[in-house]
Structures are given as C-alpha cells and as structure tokens.
Amino acid sequence: MKLQRAVIDSLNVANFNLEDLFDNDNYSIELVKGIGVFEPYRWLETFGRVTSRHIIEAKILHTSNGLTLPLKRFSSSQNLQTIEFAGLYAYNEKSLFKRKLLKENIQVLEDSYIKRLDIAIDFKRAIPKKTIEIICKHRIPFKQNGMNTYYYKTNSEKKSNVTMDIKIYDKAKKENLNYYLQRLEFCFKGAYFNKIKLKDINLVLTKIRKSIKKFTGLSVKIIPLNSI
C-alpha cells in the first residue's frame, strides 16, 4: 500500500516559563500583553491576528536570524507558557529557519506538553474525489465568503472544535506559488492529547495516523520531528 507523505506544519508545546530556555544572546523577548502592558497592534503587526481574551500574557520571541514566535499564557492554565512553531512547512526561507530552530531546541523542549499539532498533506494534483467523499461522510463542508479555505465541521459544532479541525485550501494561492498545490490539513487541539509530552510524540502520531485514516481513507507516513 502506497503511503501518503504528511508533515507536522505547526506545533504548540507548553511548560513552566519556557522563555527561560531562550535566555541568551541569540534571542530577545518583547512583552505585548501583561500586567500594566497592552500593545495589541504589535501582535497584529507581527502575527496577523489579534490576541484573544483568553490570553492573559503575550510575548514575542525574537531570534537572531529574524524569526518571531508567540509565547502565551492562557487564563485556563496560567502557570504554563506556550510556544508556537507555526508554518514549519510553508514554501519559503522562513519555514526552513523555523524547522532548524525547532530541531536545535527539541531536547530542551522534550518535557513540554503537546497542546496543538497540525498535520499537512500536500497534493500536486486535485485531492482524490474519494477522499473528499469520505470526509463528507463525517463532516459538513463550510466556506466563508471570500475565504480560500473549506472547513469541515460536525453537525453539532458551532464556532470552534476543541478536539480537531479539518480544512482544505489552495496552498499555491496562499503562498503565490507558480504551480498547483492543494493542502489537506488536520489541526489536533488540546482535548485530543492527554498530557502527552513532546518526548512521547510517537505515541500520539500513531493515534493521529488512525484518525486521518478514519476521516479520509488515506494511509499516511508522517515525517518525524528529528528528520525535519
């Protein structure tokens, strides 16, 4: 059976005071939201989105090669700080730098809890019709006006799903590529994980492969983090 290649496009992990791991000359940290400080325009300017009301502390991690990563504390888990590695498999140089940064810090992050994991499957041709049909057996397609993305939601789902999102979008259009590329993406969220640490990621990847198989009929091979 041919396996479909899949990659970890985004990873969020949480631990106590993660910023302490980056306390050296290669990094600087900018406070955007905290006690006595609120500069929402900086978050919007840097990450293209506003800080949600559930974020009680927001900081920007700046690296020596120009990368910026979010550091957040949420009201539901104030003792934990979350770092977000998003866009690990975009088609640009910044994506390469992010993968390098993550690989350099895998060992120091290994005792952190996985809070989000996005798995991307790219197709250089149209996503197989059979795959779409299987997804639609489980979920209903939804597209907002003017958006490039189809979201697949459950019958009972309202604004968001705390366990898993499924979406399909034109990756070539999003990144101004000169060739055809569609992306099928699964976003596994906090409720999907049961206090799984980064060092045990292979345990959860086995579960994820089964979920992808169930919802799409695809058998996938997920590129491990140590190979990114």
The rounded distance, in Å, linking the Cα atoms of 197 and 143 is: 34
- As given in the structure block, the two tokens for residue 167 are 């979406």
Region label for 21, one of left (φ > 0), alpha (ψ between -120 and 50) or beta (otherwise): alpha
Would you list the domain boundaries of the chain?
Answer: 4-223
Q: Half-sphere exposure of residue 200, counting CA atoms within 13 Å on the CB side?
A: 12
Residues of the chain above pLDDT 70, percent: 98
Q: Determine the average pLDDT of the residues in 181-206.
A: 94
Name the residue with tokens 């597209």.
Answer: 143
The rounded distance, in Å, linking the Cα atoms of 88 and 95 is: 5
Between 52-56, 90-94, 159-163, 184-188, the lowest mean confidence (pLDDT) is in: 159-163
Please answer whether residues 72 and 31 qualify as being in contact, where contact means their C-beta atoms are separated by less than 8 angstroms.
Answer: no
Between 141-145, 156-160, 213-217, the lowest mean confidence (pLDDT) is in: 156-160
For residue 201, what pLDDT is reported? 95
Q: Determine the average pLDDT of the residues in 142-169.
A: 86
Res. 178 pLDDT band, cuts 50 70 90: very high
Please answer whether residues 119 and 7 qualify as being in contact, where contact means their C-beta atoms are separated by less than 8 angstroms.
Answer: yes
The alpha helices in 139-228, defined as continuous H runs, are 171-174, 201-216
- As given in the structure block, the two tokens for residue 150 are 């189809």
Q: Determine the average pLDDT of the residues in 109-131.
A: 96
Res. 159 pLDDT band, cuts 50 70 90: low
Res. 47 pLDDT band, cuts 50 70 90: very high
For residue 194, what pLDDT is reported? 86
What is the three-class DSSP state of 153?
A: strand
Digit-coded pLDDT (tens) for 195-210: 899 999 999 999 999 9
What is the three-class DSSP state of 36?
A: coil
Res. 22 pLDDT band, cuts 50 70 90: very high
Q: Does the pLDDT of residue 37 top 90, yes or no?
A: yes
Q: Determine the average pLDDT of the residues in 85-105.
A: 95
Residue type, 77: S
Q: Does the pLDDT of residue 111 top 70, yes or no?
A: yes
The rounded distance, in Å, linking the Cα atoms of 215 and 138 is: 7
Q: Does the pLDDT of residue 146 top 80, yes or no?
A: no
For residue 1, what pLDDT is reported? 62
For residue 160, what pLDDT is reported? 74
- As given in the structure block, the two tokens for residue 126 are 């149209």
What is the three-class DSSP state of 170?
A: strand
Nearest one of 97, 71, 102, 94 to 84, comparing CA atoms: 71
The rounded distance, in Å, linking the Cα atoms of 162 and 158 is: 11
Query: Average model confidence (pLDDT) for the chain?
Result: 93
What is the model's pTM? 0.93
Q: Determine the average pLDDT of the residues in 16-27.
A: 92
